[in-house]
Amino acid sequence: MSIRTSLAKVRGLGSAKDGTHHWWMQRVTAIALMPLFIWAVFALLNVPLSDVPALNAWMKGPVKALLLGIFICVACYHGKLGMQVVIEDYVHRCFRKHVFLMINAFVFTLLAGMGVLAILKLHLM
Amino acid sequence: MVESKSVTSPNTKNRPLSPHLTIYKPQITSVLSISHRITGMFLACGLAFLVLTLWFAAYSPSCYTTIVEYAGTWWGIGLLMAWTLAFFYHFLNGMRHLFWDAGHGFELDVVTRSGGIVLVGTPVLTFLVWYMLLLG
């Protein structure tokens, strides 16, 4: 139980009821992605992509596997937030909008899970 | 946009609309702004592609080999180059957004100049990465 008044609770939350959380997390993930993406681009220059064993050998490095996993997760979070805004802006019909928003959340969660599982397997194989 | 079943406005079907996008001359500010969104959506597709590639590498090596073969064709390389371009655009323009969020760079000449930096930096960085990738 809180002793804060209803007005104090609602102040600053706006019509979306979550205040600046979405906006702020988009910035936090953006800043996290800057070094991660640059690392990924330069790592990509050295990854032997030609076959699975070579990729496996590269993925054996714990730091590489970890950074790649974090990169995928943060990118999925950032992408989910961004696509959410696009849907909110351009899909006007209530039911359709909420279906799209849910699909958006499901797809990015699925992608993050698939990425982590695949990296884990390649790392341990 | 006239929507007869719009959430917010059920009775606005025949009302006049204020001038919309099509009536404005494209400006560096508006074009770069919508490009940020378009490249963002394109990069989301790229992320899905990357995850699927990793998934196939882990669980279906034959599919992975096929993907790698297609990535080496001229249109595969073209697509990867387009993703690199989109990435550096979104990256540089995103930094612009972060400066705006911190309250800097709103003056019209600064906005135009930072937009110019993004437009020059994007192809330059893309070229550097592909130069290193193909010839480095």
- Residue B11 pLDDT > 80, yes or no? no
Q: How far apart are the first and last CA of chain A?
A: 50
pLDDT at site A2: 74
A100 neighbors A87 (Cβ within 8 angstroms) = yes
Return per-residue pLDDT of chain A as tens, 125 residues: 677 777 777 776 766 667 788 999 999 999 999 999 999 888 877 777 777 888 888 889 999 999 999 999 999 999 999 999 999 999 989 999 999 999 999 999 999 999 999 999 999 98
- Per the model's pLDDT, the better-predicted residue between B34 and A8 turns out to be B34
User: pLDDT averaged over chain B?
Assistant: 88
Cβ atoms of B92 and B118 within 8 Å: the answer is yes
Choose the closest CB to A92 out of B7, B41, B91.
B7
Residue entry with tokens 């404005």: B24
What's the token pair of residue A23? 């906006």
B104-115 CB burial, b ≥16 within 10 A, e <16: eeeeeeebeebb
- Which of A92, A111, A122 is facing B48, going by the closest CB pair? A111
**CA B107, CA B19: separation in Å to the nearest integer?**
25
Would an 8 Å CB–CB cutoff place A37 in contact with chain B?
A: yes
**What DSSP designation does A3 have?**
-
**What is the rounded average pLDDT of the residues B64-70?**
91
pLDDT at B8: 60
Higher pLDDT, B37 or A11: B37
Closest-approach residue (CA) in chain A for B136: A45
| Cβ–Cβ contact A25 with B under 8 A | no
Q: Pick from B1, B52, B57: which is nearest to A122 by CB?
A: B57
Say if residues B90 and B40 touch (Cβ distance below 8 Å): yes
- Say yes or no for a CB contact (<8 Å) between A125 and B129: no
Q: Which residues of B touch A30 (CB under 8 A)?
A: 94, 97-98
A108, two tokens: 């990015």
Min Cα separation A9/chain B (Å): 25
Rounded alpha-carbon distances, angstroms, from residue A52 to A49, A59, A91, B60, B66: 7, 10, 41, 10, 12
Question: pLDDT-based confidence at B20, cuts 50/70/90?
Answer: confident
Query: Which residue does chain A place closest to B132, by CA atoms?
Result: A45
Residues of B in Cβ contact (< 8 Å) with A44? 133
CB atoms < 10 A from the CB of B55, how many? 20
Q: Token match 């698939």: residue? A: A114
Q: Is the pTM of this model over 0.90?
A: no
pLDDT at B2 over 70: no
Chain A residues with CB under 8 Å of B101 CB are 27
Distance CA B123, CA B129 (A): 10
Q: Give CA–CA dist A110/A65, Å, rounded.
A: 19
pLDDT band at B23 (very low <50, low <70, confident <90, very high): confident
DSSP state of B25: P
Q: What is the pLDDT of residue B26?
A: 84
* Long-range contacts of the stretch A3-12 (C-beta < 8 A, 24+): none
pLDDT at residue A6, as a whole number:
77
Nearest CB partner across the interface for B51, out of A92, A111, A121: A111
